[in-house]
Structure 1
Amino acid sequence: MNRLLLLATGGTIAGCADDSATLNDYTAGVLGGESLLTAVPQLQDLAAITVEQVANVDSADLLFEHWCALVGRIRDVFLADPGLAGVVITHGTNTMEETAWLLQLLIDDPRPVVLVGAMRPSTALSADGPLNLLQAVQVALSSEARGRGVLVVMDGQIHGARAVTKVATQGVGAFSSPGQGPLGWVDDAGVHLQMTSPIGAVPFSDLALPQQWPHVVIVYGCVEPDARMLTLLLEAGCQGLVFTGTGAGQLSAGERRALEAWPGPWPLMLRANRCGAGPVRKNPDDELLGLLPAGCLNPQKARVLLLLASIAAMDHAQLATLIGRSELLS
């Protein structure tokens, strides 16, 4: 029988409320991974699944140490167990896309790594977690999923780590891949993945993660932003800045003046956008201000990239080269 590793981290899929009609007032991360498996007896017919509890938290409370634990465990088990079919991670939906993207940049193995969560707690009428988990296991066991990078399975859809994002606060169909759409879908007839180009090289596959992570901040664009905040962040020695710019990643005149007036070296900085879809292209003024375009990465994923680039001690030119050549970021 195929073997899988399930890494449980908590989230709504493991959440509980006082009664079955409650969808919003619940506690995330109550049930352990073994309980999630028990709720879906059909999984016993699909694979022998080993469960490890990495954390049991609301994903808004996920920490860098949890990321280190996930990366380390996946790297170790893939190296030690060539017969393992893949890894499934149960995860809260609020930051699932960030964890998926982090793993995409760090895990270099063709075997599937599939993240799954739920929009309704386990105690709810018509809870979506059990079916989502069953379908995530189906995808992790599928030969079609090999070499597709890290995947997210929610509401019968299969999404790639680079494009997927949470787009709604409620409803089981809360995940989308703007500008791309899902890679495929999964149902009782099986796993259906579209023919797409294979994932390119994993840029940080050999990167060792530290205990102390760099300070990387997201700055949100709006009408008359307070540029003093930007100056304070630079003075505090932040090692990376992501601008959630208006339109196609535009900074305000005040933010530009603050960067121009800064007397010290600039940290690594990316321009993303707040629109929710569409790329940020290179601007002729970027070099004058130490900026790089984030392409199609949303701000939270641009931050993940800057975190890893900072850990790898990349400079501006090296990050520009990575962005320019990497199929992952297009």
Structure 2
Amino acid sequence: MISIKDVAKKAGVSISTVSYALNGNPKVTEETSARILKIASELNYVPNAAARTLKKRVSKIIGVYLTDFSGAFYGEILQGMKEVLNKRGYDLIVCSGSYSHRLLPQRMIDGAVVLDHSFASEELLQLADRGHKLVVLDRELSHSNINHVLLDNKAGATLAVEYLIERGHRKLYVLTGPKDSYDSKQRLQATKQTIERHSDLIYVEIEGNFNKDSGERAAEQIIREYKEPVAVFCMNDEMAIGLYNTLLKTDFRIGEHIHIIGFDNIELTQYTQPRLATIDYSKRKWGALASEQLIKLIGGEKVEHERVYVSLIKGESVGEG
């Protein structure tokens, strides 16, 4: 592999002069810089990004950690992040899995946004203790190097359940997310608090995984147990779509026999028939806000924790109970 020493030797200059030329430093004349760049190109020299990052202690790269990349949820969040970061001169890389955690201690990235419940909070706190800057979207952590930008899950779940109750529904199925998901736990807590205020409700909880397959399994259970019209609160739209997929193959009519509300307002819900009622918020804004907060942290600015607010979108998937 061609090294910076090889470029310096062929150009007849010092290594530092080559480094200045490669980085556009005005200490080197335009004529010398052009000659060095030409030689570097002829030798197919590629700068060692890792070494440069360690020397400068800045990479201008931000990492975002996700549990997985499946479903339609992540695209808008990443787009919101990318737009802000690119305007500020940063690039974005998407990470998943424990092996990629080393990018932070090796300083290959300048900071990270975390939406990955498999990334242990203890590890995040240890990284923050070492000075790494983090923004978390899926938990609450108290540390000067950690900011959290959280979705108002409790308000969303309350809106969803109250909407079903207001429509006259008295038997409610609730399809949850994974047990270790912060969002699911927050939504479930608010759901139970809302239901407790109505003693005449029949409440059935089904554990899901935020994917379509758990919505399909839930549909099979609801069909087996069906005796009268019921309402279903799916704690994300992916599971609601899975529920749709199964029900559309049966004689059960959505919005008449089985009434459904989701959460997230993913783009696909706009094309469901009948239109899925859901909880809406700006995923692009969530990603943009997370990036803005992280850049402030990296720059040593004071930041306050932020919350992303939600609203109810009514749909024909919920009729009168």
TM-score by length of 1: 0.24
Greater fraction of residues in helix:
2
Q: Which has the larger radius of gyration?
A: 2
Higher RCO (Cα < 8 Å, 6 or more apart): 2
